[in-house]
């Protein structure tokens, strides 16, 4: 049975996003499957194993669809805040991601020059120069890091690469010289009998130290909004997240708490 949370189109919306405003989504992943280098316990698309198969879409076709949509919206005088790359997995895994970003920026300049282009990425591919260069061209490159310890990230995000290393990702993030938004999901619960919690004092103190190293121009923290593939997860309240990030707020970090 098709999962209702899998996007069945490559252009999605526009929808109102609590994090981004009026957003037109670009799903550079299959319309009938999920392709991701993570398998997060909280993924709104569901488990990777439940959505195997599906082909990555042709980049030119997606860009044609995007142009048609922008043309139509522009002609109708519809408002738009942001074009967002998200969808059924990790957008930077598409081999034409850099070319797609270039074309998207052209279309944005043509139809909605004031609109931002955002990419939601799990940061696993930012060690590739072409991906890094493309991300540096967009207005908001929003890169995920869900914990300061390898063990925590392997538990919450379940990277396909068993050698995934937080230290490596942080070193890559530092090369962005602040031109990035770091996004962190705070979550608690249980998975396969193991305690899940990236909100303990030890976790948060180490995560704060990583933010001081990377110095992103913005940090976005959020918690659960919808049902999750792992049902034993619980939401962290906005009030509690505000307390968790208080040390960084006091140091002047720009933090969006959703």
Kindly list the residues in this chain that would bind ligand SF4 in the complex (CB under 6 A): 36, 38-40, 43, 45, 89-90, 122, 157
Q: Is 10 exposed, middle or buried (0-12, 13-18, 19+ CB in 10 A)?
A: buried
> Across the strands, what pairs with 60?
none
Rounded Cα gap, residues 65 and 9, in angstroms: 10
| Shortest distance (Å) from residue 59 CB to ligand SF4 | 19
Distances from the Cα of 42 to the Cαs of 8, 68, 181, 229, in angstroms?
20, 33, 20, 6
Q: Which bin fits 116, alpha (ψ -120 to 50), beta or left (φ > 0)?
A: beta
d(CA 36, CA 89): 4
Mutual orientation of helices 166-174 and 201-214 as an angle, nearest 10°?
30
Dihedral over alpha carbons 110, 113, 115, 116 (to 10 degrees): 90
Task: Give the separation between CA 17 and CA 169, rounded to whole angstroms.
Answer: 27
Least separation in angstroms between CB 89 and ligand SF4: 5
Measured from the CB atom, the residue of 143 and 255 that comes closer to ligand SF4 is 143
Report the nearest approach of ligand SF4 to the CB of residue 90 (Å): 5
Tell me whether residue 34 or residue 108 sits nearer to ligand SF4 (CB atom). Answer: 34
To the nearest whole angstrom, how small is the minimum distance from the Cβ of residue 171 to ligand SF4? 20
CB-wise, 89 or 216, nearer to ligand SF4? 89
Closest separation in Å from C-beta 233 to ligand SF4: 12
Strands 187-191 and 233-235: what pairing? antiparallel
C-beta closer to ligand SF4: residue 64 or 154: 154
Q: 89 or 147: whose CB is closer to ligand SF4?
A: 89
Q: Which is nearer to ligand SF4, 104 or 124 (CB)?
A: 124
Strand order in the sheet with 11-17: 11-17, 21-27, 82-86, 116-121, 140-144, 181-185, 218-222, 255-257
To the nearest whole angstrom, how small is the minimum distance from the Cβ of residue 110 to ligand SF4? 29
* Minimum distance from residue 121 beta carbon to ligand SF4 (Å): 8
80/123 with CB nearer ligand SF4: 123
State the Rg of the chain over Cα. 18
């Amino acid at each position: 049975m098709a999962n209702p949370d899998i996007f069945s189109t490559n252009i999605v919306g526009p929808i109102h996003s609590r994090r981004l405003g009026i957003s037109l989504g670009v799903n550079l992943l299959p319309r009938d499957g999920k392709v991701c280098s993570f398998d997060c316990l909280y993924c709104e698309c569901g488990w990777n194993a439940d959505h195997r198969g599906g082909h990555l879409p042709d980049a030119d076709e997606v860009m044609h669809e995007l142009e048609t949509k922008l043309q139509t919206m522009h002609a109708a005088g519809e408002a738009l805040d942001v074009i967002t790359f998200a969808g059924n997995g990790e957008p930077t895994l598409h081999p034409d991601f850099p070319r797609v970003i270039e074309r998207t920026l052209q279309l944005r300049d043509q139809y909605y020059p004031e609109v931002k282009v955002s990419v939601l990425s799990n940061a696993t591919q930012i060690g590739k120069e072409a991906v890094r260069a493309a991300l540096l061209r967009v207005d908001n490159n929003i890169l995920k890091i869900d914990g300061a310890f390898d063990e925590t990230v392997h538990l919450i995000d379940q990277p396909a690469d068993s050698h995934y290393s937080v230290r490596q990702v942080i070193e890559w993030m530092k090369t962005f010289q602040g031109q990035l938004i770091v996004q962190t999901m705070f979550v608690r619960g249980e998975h396969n009998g193991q305690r899940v919690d990236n909100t303990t004092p030890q976790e948060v103190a180490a995560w704060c130290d990583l933010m001081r190293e990377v110095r992103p121009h913005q940090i976005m923290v959020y918690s659960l909004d919808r049902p999750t593939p792992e049902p034993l997860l619980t939401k962290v309240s906005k009030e509690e997240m505000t307390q968790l990030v208080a040390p960084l707020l006091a140091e002047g970090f720009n933090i969006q708490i959703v």
